[in-house]
Amino acid sequence: MSTQSASAADPLSPGTIFQDCDGCPNMVVIPPGFFDMGSYPTEAGHSGDEGPVHRVTFRRAFAIGRFEVTRGEFAAFVAETGHGDGDFCQVDLGRDWEEQPGRSWRNPGYEQGDREPVVCVGWDDAVAYTAWLSEKTGKPYRLPSEAEWEYAARAGTRESRFWGEDLARSCEYANVFDRTGKTELGLSWDPFPCHDGAARTAPVGRYLDNRFELHDMLGNVWEWTADCRNDSYEGAPSDGSAWNRGLCDYRMMRGGAWYYGPIFNRAAERVGVDPDERFYDSGFRVARDLEHP
Instruction: For residue 209, tell me if it sits in a domain.
Output: yes
Q: Would 219 be classed as within a structural domain?
A: yes
Residue 18 within a domain? yes
Query: What percentage of the chain reaches a pLDDT higher than 90?
Result: 89
Beta-strand (E) ranges in 212-289?
222-229, 247-254, 270-273, 282-283, 287-288
3-state SS, residue 272: strand
- Residue 4 confidence (pLDDT): 66
3-class DSSP state of 55: strand
Total domains present in the chain? 1
Distances (CA, A) of 21 to 3, 130, 212, 291: 12, 14, 22, 17
- Facing residues of 54 across strands? 37
User: Containing domain of residue 279, as a range?
Assistant: 3-288
pLDDT, mean of residues 226-253: 98
Report if residue 293 sits inside a domain: no
Angle, CA of 10, 75 and 28, to the nearest 5°: 25
- Look at residue 175 and tell me if it is in a domain: yes
Give the domain CATH number at 105.
3.90.1580.10
Q: What pLDDT score does 5 carry?
A: 61
Report pTM.
0.95
pLDDT at 267 over 60: yes
Span 129-161, pLDDT tens digits:
999 999 999 999 999 999 999 999 999 999 999
Answer yes or no: is 249 within a domain: yes
Residues 117-128: pLDDT tens digits? Answer: 999 999 999 999
- Expressed in angstroms, the distance from the first to the final Cα of the chain is 25
* Residue 73 counted as domain residue: yes
Crossing angle between the packed helical segments 123-137 and 71-81, to the nearest 10 degrees: 70
Strand partners, 272: 252
